[in-house]
Amino acid sequence: MNRYTKCRKVEENKYFQAVEGETDVVFILGSSEIHLTKSVLKLASPVFRSMFKAEFKEKGSERIQLSDKKYGDFVLFLRSFYPGEYLRLNDPLVRKIIPFAREYNVQSLLERIKEWLEVQASTWNDDAKFVLMAFAMASEYGFNELYTKLAGNLMEFDQKSVEWFNEYKRLKDKDQIFVLNLRCERQKLRCDSLEYDNSQYKKAFEAIQKTARCVSK
């Protein structure tokens, strides 16, 4: 399975069926049920631990409605850390599961995703599209060391060529500015100097600043 392999559609009720004496909680997503073990969930996630405490209305209930979750994506998330499953990561899978990993604060999965992004970005360092995707994800999910490293990787690509990618256009203003500032530093440009005024970065900075919510460093 390569980095871009599409996630197969999850068959309804194929995974996480009831096992007598083992499963003790049921998540209900639409017409589908997911049978799980509380102890496994509590070990993986402080959010799941809290879900089973007294201050939550779910306390004592063996059937919990998760009406705002999409069954297929949620099952993929569970299979990415649940014992006996442990899906191999790829680009489409990571995009689907990382929001759940943050929502439920599954640190082991977040760390695994971060390591996967770092390895893939090193392996495919000539793939600007992937590096941009990983850079945006590092920004969004607070992978600070990886963020700085990936910004450095982007220096290997010409700024004009990077700007063609939708992944670059979708970057937050602060992230575009971080990349541009780093380019200036790498080329020993002062962003208020005549040399900068004549460089390819001036126009890019000005375009961001016209729409930026905050352009402070």
119 part of a folded domain: no
State pTM to two decimals: 0.79
Asked if residues 98 and 127 have their Cβ atoms less than 8 Å apart, the reply is: no
Name the residue type at position 198. N
Which residue do the tokens 């899906």 mark? 87
Distance separating alpha carbons of residues 172 and 155, to the nearest angstrom: 18
Question: What are 29's strand-pairing partners?
Answer: 32
Determine the 3-state secondary structure of 63 from DSSP.
Answer: strand
pLDDT of res. 22: 85
76-91 average pLDDT score? 92
Same domain, 37 and 83: yes
pLDDT of res. 213: 44
Same domain, 93 and 130: no
Domain count, the chain: 2
The residue among 55, 87, 112 that closes a domain is 112
Give the residue numbers spanning the domain of 134: 124-217
Q: pLDDT tens for residues 97-142?
A: 999 999 999 999 999 999 999 999 989 888 999 999 999 999 999 9
pLDDT at 162 over 60: yes
The residue among 112, 140, 162 that closes a domain is 112
Same domain, 84 and 150: no
142: phi > 0 → left, psi -120 to 50 → alpha, else beta; which?
left
68-83 average pLDDT score? 94
Name the residue type at position 96. K
pLDDT of res. 55: 44
142 part of a folded domain: yes
Distance separating alpha carbons of residues 55 and 50, to the nearest angstrom: 8
Determine the 3-state secondary structure of 163 from DSSP.
Answer: coil
Render 5-54 in DSSP notation, one character per residue.
PPPPPPPTT-SS---TTT--EEEEETTEEEEE-HHHHHHH-HHHHHHTST
Cα distances from 35 to residues 28, 38, 48, in angstroms, run 9, 10, 14
Mean pLDDT of the chain: 84
Question: What are 28's strand-pairing partners?
Answer: 33, 65
pLDDT tier, 179 (very low <50, low <70, confident <90, very high otherwise): very high
pLDDT of res. 14: 75
pLDDT at 143 over 90: yes
